[in-house]
Homo-oligomer: A and B are copies of this chain.
Amino acid sequence: MAVYTDVAAEDLSAFLAAYEIGELLSYKGIAEGVENSNFLMHTSRGYFILTLYEKRVAAGDLPFFIGLMEHLAKNGLTCPQPVKNRAGEALGKLAGRPAAIVTFLDGMWIRKPSAQHGAALGEALARLHLAGADFPMRRPNALSVEGWRPLFEAAQGRADRLQPGLCDTIATELAHLEQHWPRDLPQGVIHADLFPDNVFFLGDRLSGLIDFYFACTDTLAYDVAICLNAWCFEPDHSYNVTKGRALLQAYGRARELSSAERAVLPLLARGAALRFLLTRLVDWLDVPPGALVKPKDPIEYFRKLRFHQAVGTVRDYGLD
């Protein structure tokens, strides 16, 4: 749960004086996003989200995120739209932190997504990739294959506390991925964290995408692999081929996966599983005993990795 920084009403009102969004009527710290402090503001002009960027987000990356949301919104994707102040700036400073205001999106995230939700997600993901194609800024993915070994080194001495043999499995997988990771697939803007809690629905209709703070320039099909992991497994860790097919087919209707992308999807899915296994593992080992925040279970992603290791071709994911 987020909200790390308290903002005084007096300070927020002064900050908003530079914007043309009306008079502040209320604001509440909200439990959304795990990296930043977020507030839902009500002003005489409507509802807005205020984000204070905490230390885990590099200030130098903010123009990329803000610019990307603006670019995507202009290109027809429903996502939060940065609100500029009178000086034309979308990025300000509040409570000693970089701060931005974005428009408020209705919609709710689905705890148990169906194949239909997965199809909507697949289409939105392809549209995100297409809309991002002419975005001029670049941001390397710090959590792609080059970033995994440092995470492993931070965790390896303690990984077996979670499950005996975990350390060896990761070491072998990491070496394999480092050797075989594809370098020549189509690249572009990827969301890189499009889990169900970042995708809003109104009924069965996808109403918007949020939380672009892992977005970066990377292999587009890797983003598909991240979503396969995040959307197509059941709570018992089994892969649901109906959901996978729905997601992949819907993606393909908007942006066709090349044969090269299809061939390497199982490898990308292993990489995506390892990436979340590693970050969850580090978070898990870093949380002090007795803390009120319960970190996400790394073993969920260990099981997904095991599944992808046994996959032969993209047919196993539901694509013909």
Residues of A within 8 A of B (CB): 1, 3, 6, 8-10, 12, 24-32, 40, 42, 47, 105-112, 200-202, 288-293
- Within the complex, the shortest CB–CB distance from A15 to chain B, in Å, comes to 13
17 A-B pairs with C-beta separation under 8 A: A1-B29, A3-B31, A6-B111, A8-B112, A9-B201, A10-B112, A25-B107, A26-B107, A26-B200, A28-B32, A29-B32, A30-B31, A40-B40, A42-B106, A288-B288, A289-B290, A290-B290
Q: For A27, what are the chain B residues with a Cβ–Cβ distance below 8 Å?
A: 108
Q: For A289, what are the chain B residues with a Cβ–Cβ distance below 8 Å?
A: 288, 290
Closest 9 pairs (CB-CB, A-B) = A288-B290, A29-B31, A9-B108, A8-B111, A28-B30, A25-B106, A3-B31, A26-B106, A1-B3
Pairwise interchain contact A108-B291, C-beta atoms closer than 8 A: no
A31-B31, A32-B28 known; A111-B1 Cβ under 8 A: no
Bound CA span A1–B28, Å: 11
Q: For A200, what are the chain B residues with a Cβ–Cβ distance below 8 Å?
A: 26
Q: For A202, what are the chain B residues with a Cβ–Cβ distance below 8 Å?
A: 25
Bound CA span A188–B107, Å: 44
Bound CA span A105–B9, Å: 15
Q: For A111, what are the chain B residues with a Cβ–Cβ distance below 8 Å?
A: 6, 8-10
Pairwise interchain contact B290-A293, C-beta atoms closer than 8 A: no
Q: For A112, what are the chain B residues with a Cβ–Cβ distance below 8 Å?
A: 8, 10
Q: For A293, what are the chain B residues with a Cβ–Cβ distance below 8 Å?
A: 292
Pairwise interchain contact A110-B40, C-beta atoms closer than 8 A: no
Q: For A31, what are the chain B residues with a Cβ–Cβ distance below 8 Å?
A: 1, 3, 28-31
Q: For A29, what are the chain B residues with a Cβ–Cβ distance below 8 Å?
A: 1, 30-32
Nearest residue (CB) in B for A290 is B288
Bound CA span A42–B40, Å: 12
List 6 extra interface pairs beyond A26-B108, A28-B28, CB under 8 A: A8-B112, A9-B110, A26-B105, A30-B30, A289-B290, A291-B291
A10, A31, A105, A290 — most chain B CB neighbours (10 Å): A31
